[in-house]
Chains A and B, each alone.
Chain A
């Protein structure tokens, strides 16, 4: 006996919804047992910044960089590094 198309379609959607619920379950399980090593290392060494952009000191330690960092070489010397284009300009309020 061949399956009706609606059985296949509804089965596929049910599978997808089960996958969606599984992502919630996975997030919930991981939230209950977070890796304790990284916060401990941050506390021990007093780290302030993720090592996402290591090409320049003001992108490596964004939180600790000079206030004038992106234009530090010359007032008109725009930034060399692509990651700075991902960083918001300062607010002028």
Chain B
């Protein structure tokens, strides 16, 4: 065992010396290789983190949300709707919600105004989301004015800023009391934006939704599982789309690696010939080249993956932000919970390390099994 280990170390020493003779070329290859792994791993970790975070927090979203549609668009819930729902068996709890959107021309951003169900917010006060507070420079106690859609100016005092940790979900929220909400939006009395429902038996959610749709044909029930599925497919789609864009880079790298690995230079051929002529066995030549491939590909994998980890989980995926931000003014600053998916990691390893190592070995093996004399003469 010790002999085997010493032999491998000598082979590694020799491989490193061989790599060192073509230093610039090999360092360039290592940099391009690491960059490729970094980009692929960043996309993978970022979408995995977002997917898991959405799954974790949306598990607490309402079981059923009931909207009313008029001519294919969402409309307000009129008075009397709640009473009709109350007669449907299986509905445990229902809550009519008030929420809507407001465009703030000062910072050109959209806010979500919402009346919290349980929390009581005194008249004239607001609780604001952290991204909004940052954009408008607000802290608790500040005053802020909004011009309503009716043209009246309303001034509110900021009672509290929601915690930064919840920014992914609450970046643009403005929470206010029901009376303030109705006055600000001139919201018709007795009307609501939508209704949230909880169902006594979780297995009955689909049946209850079917009953709701039958009893209230103009309604559209949205189930929690649909909300979760929407986000799972959204992040899958985004990951797939980015990876499709990156497929070009991946192919370019594959061509580079193949060209480097399969097209043995005359110098490399002569080197193999000399090694065989001085007594190296085919197996030794292959082992030496195997170590060369492993050192480059494994180093690139580790450098790329660890850099992607730091980028996504410690630098908040800074390079992806401009892509994700779109045209939005308010964009949440959020830190994803680190996630490792063993299968994804194995897939990344297999598709980056394995092909390169294999591509290095095949031409070397072909050169190494030929006669040293013939190899040196070609």
Interface residues of A (CB under 8 A from B): 4-7, 9-10, 12-13, 16-17, 19-20, 23-24, 26-27, 30-31, 34-35, 37-57, 59-64, 66-68, 72, 80-83, 86-88
Assess whether A39 is in contact with B59, with CB atoms less than 8 Å apart.
yes
B165–A62 touching, CB < 8 Å = no
C-alpha gap A65/B316 in the complex (Å): 28
User: Are A27 and B222 neighbours in the complex by a CB distance under 8 Å?
Assistant: no
Report the bound CA distance from A43 to B141 in whole Å: 26
B241 and A86 form a contact (CB under 8 A): yes
Chain B residues, Cβ within 8 Å of A37? 163, 165-166
Assess whether B73 is in contact with A66, with CB atoms less than 8 Å apart: yes
Docked complex Cα distance between A47 and B328 (Å): 19
Residues of B within 8 A of A (CB): 9-10, 12-13, 16-17, 20, 53-54, 56-62, 65, 67, 69, 72-74, 95, 97, 101, 109-110, 112, 114, 116-119, 129, 131, 162-163, 165-173, 175, 194, 196, 222, 226-227, 230-231, 233-234, 237-238, 241, 295, 298-299, 302-303, 305-306, 309, 313, 324, 326-332, 337-340
Interface centre among A5, A12, A67 (most CB of B within 10 A): A5
Query: A52-B324, A54-B331 provided; 18 other pairs, C-beta below 8 A?
Result: A19-B302, A31-B337, A34-B56, A38-B170, A42-B60, A45-B117, A46-B95, A47-B57, A48-B227, A50-B169, A50-B231, A51-B112, A51-B168, A51-B173, A54-B172, A55-B110, A86-B241, A87-B237
Question: Given A46-B61, A51-B168, A87-B237, does the pair A9, B16 have CB atoms closer than 8 Å?
Answer: yes
Q: What's the dominant secondary structure at chain A's contact region?
A: helix
A20 pairs with B306, CB closer than 8 A: yes
**Min C-beta distance of A86 to chain B, whole Å:** 5
B-side contacts of A4, CB under 8 Å = 9, 13
Residue pair B237, A82 in contact (C-beta under 8 Å): no
Looking at the complex, which one of B119, B196, B241, B328 makes contact with A53 (CB distance below 8 Å)? B328
Distance A56 CA – B329 CA, assembled complex (angstroms): 11
